[in-house]
Structure 1
Amino acid sequence: MTIAARRLALLGGAAVSLLAAAAHAAPAPAAPPAVQNRAAAAALPALPDVDIPFTKMVLPNGLTLIVHEDHKAPIVAVNIWYHVGSKNEPVGRSGFAHLFEHLMFNGSENFNNDFFKATELLGATDQNGTTNTDRTNYFQNVPTSALDSVLWLESDRMGHLLGAIDQARLDEQRGVVQNEKRQSENQPYGRVWDAITEATYPADHPYGHTVIGSMADLDAASLDDVKGWFRDYYGAANAVIVLAGDITPEEARAKVEHYFGDIPSGPPVTQPQRMIARMEGAQREIMYDRVGQPRLYKVWNVPPAGDAATDYLGLLGQVLSSGRTSRLHKRLVFDDQVATSVFAGTSESEIGSQFVVMVTAKPGQDLGAIERVVDEEMARLLRDGPSAEELERARTVTGAGLVRGLERIGGFGGKSDRLAESQVFLGDPGAWKTSYERLLTATPANLTGAGRDWLTDGSYALEVLPFPDFTTAATGADRSKMPDPGAAPQADFPSFERFTLSNGLKVVLAPRTGVPTVSMNLIVEAGSAADPADKNGVAQLAPAVMTNGTDRLTALQISDQMQLLGASIGAGSAVDYTNVSLNAIESRLEPSLALYADIIQNPAFRAEDFQRAKAQQVSGIQQSNRNPGAIASRVLAANVFGPENPYGRPTSGTEASVQALTPADAEAYHATWFRPDNATLVVVGDTTQAELAPALEKAFRTWRAPSTPLPVKPAAPALPSRSAPRVLIVDRAGPQSSITAGRLAPAFDAATEGTFDVANTALGGAFTSRINMNLREDKHWSYGAGSGIRTTRGERMFLVSTGVQSDKTAESLVEIRKELSDVVGSRPLTEDEIAAVRSNLVLGMAGNWETNAAVAGDLTSMVVYGVPENYYDGYAASVNATTPQKASVAARALVGDGPTTWVVVGDRAAIEPKIRALNLGEVQVVDVEGRPVN
């Protein structure tokens, strides 16, 4: 369960500056760069006219039902929004809406068990519950055959919850939420949202406190408070349910009336309306935090979501910060090179929103000077307005993102989410389309007008409407037993085909209609494992530089073209491969493919582009040296695989190794490995081989393999053998400790992988797994804990990881060791546990392949790691054939005698004595690189 504090996920900052905007003109620097692509922009096809057809009904008890049909897969998204969030909390009860959301997963009167224990048997995917300032929602996708089961569950906790809530459950979830708060605040920039909230809203404003609340208020929440909250806000008339997917409106109404029709409407709920807390003058605050780079925030309070001005301000933010030629990015990141990233945009909420500018500076840079640049560029934009090309880029980037989101029926940003949000906040499931139409027709004057109007000032209005006379059905669903799910539909991996271009480039194509987009991923058979010993990090740096310029295009021109095309191109690397990806609108595939092929074949590796990318990589390394989880993961890998093994050294290299790299090194990496006989192109989306093959031949017609053979990659050193476990402590003060432990496990084997998945899922790979239920639900020492198998070639690493409150570090180590020992000893996995995992893994397969990205990910595994093409044909049978005996064999192979290495990142003074007393193994204190500390 998560907190969605705003649509915009703000990451905190070392310095927070909250200012009203200046509408008057500031001294203007040089005009924006000359338009390079105006003619191309004018010739581009229009963005598609998209829609989400729906049927809306209101039941007699006030429950609003919205139905959207989408029969592409035998699944249904069930998305329930309650119109209650942190803005409804009384004084002294901050964080209560989120705390209650957690309690909703602990069981109801007729299913008195963890909600996930039921849904994992139903094959639920895309499942969660979230709370923000204005609403609480619960959602999941399930196979069509399991719809009755999940509706029974959801209606049971809407109408039959109070009898299942007791003091023990309240105390348990209170501890979980408090650990979630500690975990958030323990991250870099983790305290920023608290500071922004307190500074930009009066204490008595509905948004005057954070969603997660204060520790004192969480401690003060009583059982009576919980039950009163449920009675006040969780009635049927304060809820919207959206069913999207393989269902008709008629079927949906019959089912929802059956399960929800007898639930009382609840009392009338008075909602705050438009309350924009306009600020006057300049407020300033300085915060000190454990971060690697200074960061500047500037915030203005603006109209709520759905307001025309807010939509135009969102586009204004794109002009300021999206793309390399945007006003702020070009000044601060590209030209002056004083910052590594910029952001500007709207953080939308129901009764008032915020416009936020965020700049992450390079270490040592003056935030005051950066703020002056921000003020200058904003004043110039508000005075002169955006150019036609700037607006078109902003329009395309925003519109293409919305189109891509419509691929999914559920989850964050899916079709059911848009319908529910529009109904709850704007009273119309189709209201989102008004904002989309504004996007398509916005003019430069619209953006400038909104920017000039919403700098300082604001208003508040309250409307009181009569509450309808609702009635309750005399009878309802049978509450004595949850309906059994029907027969599960067969989940088949999407069909795909292979062909080879005339230049030898292998292509894997999975045609998928439904959303007019095409995704491509060029996989080059070389990654950080191919880094020479003295050039660690070049495999990551080279592809980053590739997207910064070609022989005919500069970085700024590439950025312009991507935005005009609505395409996204990225590049990166892993241990075993390097990839360059493209996501394109189908109607603009040919020009997008031309740009993509140019980047792959003709990167320029200019010195200035190389230096920018290198600085970004070094900054990322510096940031990881301050992140507890990243530190623990890096130190663990080096000790399990060995520091010189490709899987044991960081793919990004070290600060020293990256600083020593030159443009020639990156160019040599590209020349050596980027050749068609060493690559495979994975394509998923709205195209066919007949359409795609000629386009690829045209785009890659000049790309030919050299006559020289491929070089032999460096041989990996032998894996270390450890006869006794060891514990490594990294000293980092804070309220939490990060624990990671691992050991070598057998290599991937298609014949046994299903059984391994069952064993790991039951032990630590699911919400209801043993490790998570122990540390989070039973002990509430952690927000989440689990285990996994890291994908590699050859022997892999099995690991356990969690973040725990600092004063329970040693105790958590004891519990983890106990769970690992018990599963191969006194308490092997039971048939009930295995049956639950079997259902979860098999029934969830259909939902796992809903998106193109998911399909492309599995195809990539086939290319890189040798997963057989027919692997998923027999996966369900392999999982279903897992018995307790087979699971025990798999658990023994994974867990063995326990981790060979434990890594704990935490406050050494507080945790070291108790850890040493556990006798887990040799204890050694190391630095963030894993080097011994005296």
Structure 2
Amino acid sequence: MSQPSRIGRVLALSSTLAFALAGTTHAKVDVDIPFQEFTLPNGLRVIVHEDRKAPVVAVNIWYHVGSKDEPVGKSGFAHLFEHLMFQGSENHDGEFFGPFELVGATNQNGTTNSDRTNYFQNVPTTALDMALWMESDRMGHLLGAVTQELLDEQRGVVQNEKRQGENQPYGRVWDQLSRSMYPVSHPYHHSVIGSMEDLNSASLDDVKTWFRDWYGPNNAVLVLAGDIDLATAKAKTLDYFGDIPASATVPKLPTNIAPRTESTRETMTDRVAQPRIYRAWNVPEFGNAQLDHLQLVAQILGGSKSSRLDRRLVHQDKLVDSVSAFAMGSELGSGFAIIANVRNGVDVKKVEAVLAEEVKKFVADGPTQAELDQARIVFEAGFVRGVERIGGFGGKADVLAECAVFMDDPGCFRDSLATLDKATTADLKAAAAKWLAQGDHTLVVEPGDTSAASAPEPERVATESDKAQPEKVLLPDPNFTVVASKVDRSKGVPETKSFPDLRFPALQRATLSNGIDVILAERHEIPVVQLSMEFDAGYTADLGRKLGTASFTMGMLDEGAAGLDALALADRTQSLGAVIGAGASLDGSNVYVSALKPQLDPSLSLFADVIRKPDFADKEIDRVRQTWLAGIAQEKTRPNGVANRVLPPLLYGKGHPYAIPFSGSGDEASIKALERDDLVAFHRDFIRPDNATLIVVGDTTLKEIVPLLEKHFADWKAPEKKLPVIEVAKVELQPKPRVFLIDQPGAVQANILVGQVVNPTGDPKALDFDIANGVLGGEFSSRLNMKLREEKQWAYGAYSYAIGAKGQRPWIASAAVQIDRTADSIRELQTDIAQFASNAQAASDDEIAKIKRTNVLSLPGSYETAGAVMGAIGGIVRYGRPDNYVETLKERTEAVSAEAVHAAAGLLKPDALTWVVVGDLSKIEQPVRDLKLGEVSVLDADGKPLR
């Protein structure tokens, strides 16, 4: 379960769903989230949004309780209870995820922040009864299932989640900012995840009291979005939730912005590759019109590649590798932040001075009309794209719930849209002058050890606001009543007996006059057209070239084209409400555009220029090179980042095209040596029409799109030079186990990766292995995660996966574990993998059936968005699959036998495994050596032997 930081999360409503008039030349797109609502007699508010594009329903429930509501000494209770509510209920003995996996639920999770706790999942329409039964059972029938054993288990899981976050570079920043921005008495002063001390002291009585006070139906909002109507929602929610008694009505905390009048500054050190500056302000609460204005201010200052701060600090003065600005909405008061990654060797205070100067200039003068218009276009386009998803974090159901919980109006997003629509330059200047002219706090993170980042949190003292936060069980609100239920819960979870069919759009094909194949999947739900030009050349094309060439070249395509430099190209793209980008992966590359339908033709013009006419200007190459090198350095400070740089070369061996960091970023020496000619040569050799397939998904037809594509691509001809052929040779498995250790002094966790090569994605038996891997480590309820997370509480998660590849795939199992359990965790992983592979603990019929069922039944909900459809078509293109691949996946999955799964499990060879462990070697090296798994070597972050 994810746990977004209060300050760290970007306001979902305003960042994805706010829009305004886009100027006289830009067509306005009319998109809304229509809804209906009702309230049950017990106070449960239900909001219904009908969207019939897929046979799925998003079930999203918000409880109006977060870390702000925690009394002194009970920090982390809200988040801890989020975890406990996934551990079964009085009428369902087992993991909450279990029944959902059996019906193919997608986008399932729970999150906690300072203001609310939410749970969400998308289920097939026919499984709605099951989902409502499960949600209502944990709302009304939980406490009898909460035992001391479960409390201790989830306490350990949460503490490992805390360690995992703190073990990342800059991982302690947001907690420190919360403490610095808010006084000790403020509800936002302490972190969402809480302190170790408070988590350790939580008693069974404490958590039960917490549940009784906060988790009643009258403190919740339920959103049902998708393939559902109001009448169905009323009948089913009354059946399942109507008999749950209301809890107390807890007084709502008042707005508490905690405005600041003085500028303050602090520094901390961490295991980071470069200094980073955080400059933050306390600003108005969610729903305040000036917060919407500040969203536009943030966009203009640092929300895009051509923003003011980017122009000054990245392009002009070349002082930072990246900079961003954003506003973050919360219920009592919000945050505004600027983050800058300072180039190594640059004086941090010089960057701070420029940041202060640019903010001061905006406060004094405000934005230009052109800047305001462009910012509004960006938000309009974000709104249009955001309303495509019904569920998941930030989808339409989330937006409706957020508005209902915080503003008592599910349609409050419309007020935000109207505010942005009417905003003037004077409005933005006024908002900046009021909130950004004073009271800023600067936190500078410098490279160093973690000692300064580990200072104990100041003790919070009780205040008046704590009186609204009960220590004892409060009396239920007598204004609410219950309705007798028809549901017999003794029968257990309702069985889902039928399931909807997959609705995957038909693939339509055409060929342009220059030979480019076009594949179209029509999706008319929103006025957006997405296109991806796919090229058969990825990181593998680096073989014989400088490492990182493919990825760097593709990354440079949108850094200037057809005479428009990087800033001008970004300006033009944003003025159209388009998104254009390019990138590479292991076996392929692509250039993509997401275009608003009214601006399709001019967006395609830019798209074609980026593909066909990149400038590769030396000034842009030099700038991107410095940022790229900083990115490689950042990879090496992230535990999984360095492990994934080192492991592939160990698996494939020197000279193999896959023996590279799987980020595709290359290494410092090769990136420093890259010249313009290298980029031109890669573009000439691989970015060509005879190596391209164009995928189109969205609001268009072949009749409409083909003439536009002919207009922009027909005269693009392939060069005479023959297209290079990339060969991916087969490698043999390692003859014996090996263990490689990488030191990360001061780490509170160890990151364990273990891997080998298995059959390619295109192998006829690849599906057999994927099902086998699902049993071992592919799902939340798979063996590895249940062992290390739920049974042992040594890790926040443990999973395994095979990365898609034309050649032999890398199979990797990974877990971030508490540092004192590193050797124990490796032993458990090794034992489980060995017993599974040898069939000593073979995949059972029930385990295989569960994975097959999950994979098959999740198909109808897996292709809700155009992006998901495009990804599936991309796989069809890359791996030479038939056009009906997705439609036949159900039949082929169901046909996989237990014998085939057992045989596929045998592809794992315990004696051929390669282990990479990143952690504090002073604590883990000797225990790992004592395991005697195989020869142990110590490497540096580049994979070079140290001993």
TM-score when normalising by structure 1: 0.94
Q: Secondary structure at the match of 1:53?
A: coil
CA contact (8 A) 2:734 2:912 kept: no
2:221 to 234, 240, 251: 240
* Amino acid paired to 2:605: A
In the TM superposition, 1:225-624 aligns within 5 A as 225-455=206-436, 456=438, 469-480=479-490, 481-624=492-635
Matches of 2:519 and 2:551 in 1, distance apart?
Answer: 24
For these two proteins, the number of residue pairs brought into alignment is 902
From the superposition, tell whether residues 436 and 55 of structure 1 become closer, same or farther in structure 2 (CA, over 3 Å): same
Q: Distance in 1 between matches of 2:786 and 2:626?
A: 42
The offset of 1:838, in angstroms, is 2.1
Which runs of structure 2 are paired with 1:84-233 in the superposition (5 Å)?
Answer: 84-233=65-214
Q: Are residues 1:809 and 2:790 paired?
A: no
Distance 2:660 2:239 in 1: 58
Alpha-carbon contact 1:10-1:193 (below 8 Å) kept = no
Aligned equivalent of 2:855, options 836, 841, 863: 841
Amino acid at match of 2:854: N
Q: 1:634 aligns to what SS in structure 2? A: helix
Structure 2 CA distance, aligned partners of 1:510 and 1:764?
33
Gap change, CA 1:324 and 1:874, over 3 Å in 2:
closer
Rounded Cα–Cα distance in structure 1 between residues aligned with 2:41 and 2:85: 25
* CA displacement at 1:825 relative to structure 2: 2.8
Instruction: Determine the C-alpha separation between the residues in 1 that align with 2:353 and 2:603.
Output: 37
Amino acid in the other structure paired with 1:145 = T
In 1, Cα distance between equivalents of 2:782 and 2:156:
19
How much has 1:602 moved relative to structure 2? 0.9
**1:4 counterpart residue number:** 4
8 Å contact from structure 1 (residues 47, 396) kept in 2 = no
Shift of residue 451, structure 1, vs aligned partner:
0.9
Q: CA deviation at 1:873?
A: 2.6
AA in 2 matched with 1:479:
R
User: Quick one: distance in 2 between partners of 1:832 and 1:524?
Assistant: 41
Which amino acid letter does the alignment assign opposite residue 65 of structure 1? V
Which secondary structure state, in structure 2, belongs to the residue aligned with residue 412 of structure 1?
Answer: coil
Structure 2: distance between partners of 1:605 and 1:612? 11
* Corresponding residue to 1:907 among 920, 931, 941: 920
Q: Distance in 2 between matches of 1:815 and 1:248?
A: 49
The root-mean-square deviation of aligned C-alpha atoms, in Å, is: 2.0
Q: 2:910 matched to 1:897?
A: yes
C-alpha separation in 1, matches of 2:7 and 2:234: 30
> What is the Cα deviation at residue 457 of structure 1?
8.0
Displacement of 1:192: 0.3
Gaps of 5+ in 1: 12-39
SS at 2:293 equivalent: helix
Structure 2 partner of 1:775: 788
8 Å CA contact retained: 2:730, 2:807: no
Partner of 1:27: none
* Deviation string, structure 1 residues 657-706 (Cα, Å, up to 9, x no partner): 11001112111211221111111111111111011000111111331112
* Contact 2:6-2:192 at 8 Å conserved across structures: no
Residue pairs, 1:527-926, within 5 angstroms? 527-650=538-661, 651-713=664-726, 715-716=727-728, 719-733=731-745, 734-749=747-762, 751-823=764-836, 824-893=838-907, 895-897=908-910, 899-926=912-939
Shift of 1:868: 3.0
1:332 aligned counterpart, secondary structure: helix
Matches of 1:148 and 1:510, distance apart in 2: 32
CA contact (8 A) 1:274 1:461 kept: no
Deviation of 1:478 after TM superposition, in Å, equals 1.2
- Note closer, same or farther for the CA distance 1:475–1:577 as it changes in structure 2 (3 Å cut): closer
1:315-372 CA distance string (max 9 Å, x none): 0010101233321110000111111111112111011001111111111211211111
SS at match of 1:3: coil
Aligned 8 A contact 1:149 1:482 in 2: yes
Provide the secondary structure at the position in 1 that maps to 2:378.
Answer: helix
Matches of 2:723 and 2:769, distance apart in 1: 36
Q: In the alignment, is residue 65 of structure 1 matched against residue 15 of structure 2?
A: no
Report if aligned partners of 1:644, 1:717 keep a CA contact under 8 Å in 2.
Answer: no
**Separation in structure 2 between the aligned mates of residue 475 and residue 322 of structure 1, nearest angstrom:** 51
Distance in 1, Cα, partners of 2:2 & 2:724? 48
User: Partners in 2 of 1:280 and 1:396 — Cα distance?
Assistant: 34
Give CA deviations for 1:18-61 in whole Å, capped at 9, x if unaligned.
Answer: xxxxxxxxxxxxxxxxxxxxxx9744334322211111101101
Contact persistence 2:729–2:807 (CA under 8 A): no
Q: CA deviation at 1:10?
A: 7.9
Partners of 2:728 and 2:807 within 8 A in 1? no
Check whether the contact 1:406–1:414 (CA below 8 A) recurs between aligned residues: yes
Q: What SS is found at the alignment partner of 1:2? A: coil
More displaced 10-residue stretch of structure 1: 524-533 or 546-555: 524-533
Unaligned stretches of 5+ residues in structure 2: 12-20, 441-463, 469-475
Q: Aligned letter for 1:744?
A: V
Given that 1:740 and 1:903 are in contact with CA atoms closer than 8 Å, whether structure 2 keeps it comes out as yes
2:504 maps to amino acid = F
Q: Provide the rounded CA distance (Å) in 2 between the counterparts of 1:139 and 1:390.
A: 37
> Structure 1 residues 7, 888: CA separation in 2 closer, same or farther (over 3 Å shift)?
farther
* Contact persistence 1:361–1:367 (CA under 8 A): yes
Select between 704-713 and 429-438 the one with higher mean Cα deviation. 704-713
Which secondary structure does the structure 1 equivalent of 2:906 belong to?
A: helix
Larger CA deviation: 303-312 vs 505-514: 505-514
Which moved further from structure 2: 820-829 or 86-95? Answer: 820-829
- Check conservation: 1:510, 1:685, Cα contact below 8 A: yes
Q: 1:312 deviation in Å? A: 0.1
Contact 2:54 2:227 in 1 (8 A): yes
Partner of 1:35: none
SS in structure 2 of the partner of residue 809 of structure 1: helix
Query: 1:507-531, CA deviations, whole angstroms, 9 ceiling, x for partnerless residues?
Result: 1111111011111111112222222
Confirm or deny: 8 A CA contact 2:735 2:911 kept in the other structure.
no
* CA positional deviation for 1:615: 1.4
Relative to structure 2, which stretch is displaced further, 668-677 or 301-310?
668-677
CA distances 1:239-274 after superposition (whole Å, capped 9, x unpaired) = 100000111100001000000000011111112121
Instruction: Describe the SS at the equivalent of 2:102.
Output: helix
Q: Which amino acid aligns with 1:278?
A: P
Q: Distance in 1 between matches of 2:425 and 2:545?
A: 52
Alpha-carbon distance, 1:476 to partner: 4.5
Q: Give the TM-score normalised by the residue count of structure 2.
A: 0.93
Instruction: Kindly provide the amino acid, as one letter, of the partner of residue 714 in structure 2.
Output: R
